[in-house]
Amino acid sequence: MLIMGAHAMRTLGCSVTASVDATYVAADLCDGDPSTPVRVDGGSLSAALSFTSGSIDGLIVANHNLAAGGTVAFSGLGTVTLPAVPQNSIRLNGLELLGSPTTVSSTTVTATAGGPVIVGEVIAGSSRRFGRCRRGPIIRFGRSC
């Protein structure tokens, strides 16, 4: 299992500069609540994010309407390729793990769609892996393997 604690989400609560539809707030893109999305009717989202510098090894795009196989670019970091839509038609969150951690204090997120772009949350931060390793569970009675 992969987790990213709130303290490791560099973009949580960061400064967001973007043009979004009048009934939406650009800051909602990084407010930690994917149920309050941003929307752009023009088919293209570009949002400049500024945050406290720190290590980033994971990128997430949550609660979106973007097509499977589409991409969301985080400048200077990488690109999230969105997964296939399952039979229940509920889109899955996109995740990209970077090959090596990168330290930055800003990025521009860009996404396009054939119609309106709706994104609930974008997250860039440092992840931590839990689960099994070769010698057993990673966490067992407070010890790690």
Domain ranges of the chain: 2-144
Q: Calculate mean pLDDT across residues 76-98.
A: 93
Q: How far apart are the first and last CA of the chain?
A: 15
Which residues, listed in sequence order, are joined to residue 16 by a DSSP beta bridge? Answer: 49
**Mean confidence (pLDDT) of the chain:** 88
With contact defined as beta carbons under 8 Å apart, do 130 and 138 qualify?
yes
CATH superfamily, domain 2-144, is Galactose-binding domain-like (2.60.120.260)
Q: Give pTM, 2 decimals.
A: 0.85
Rounded distance between C-alpha atoms, residue 72 and residue 64, angstroms: 11
The answer on pLDDT for 137 being more than 50 is no
Q: Which two tokens stand for residue 85?
A: 């839509």
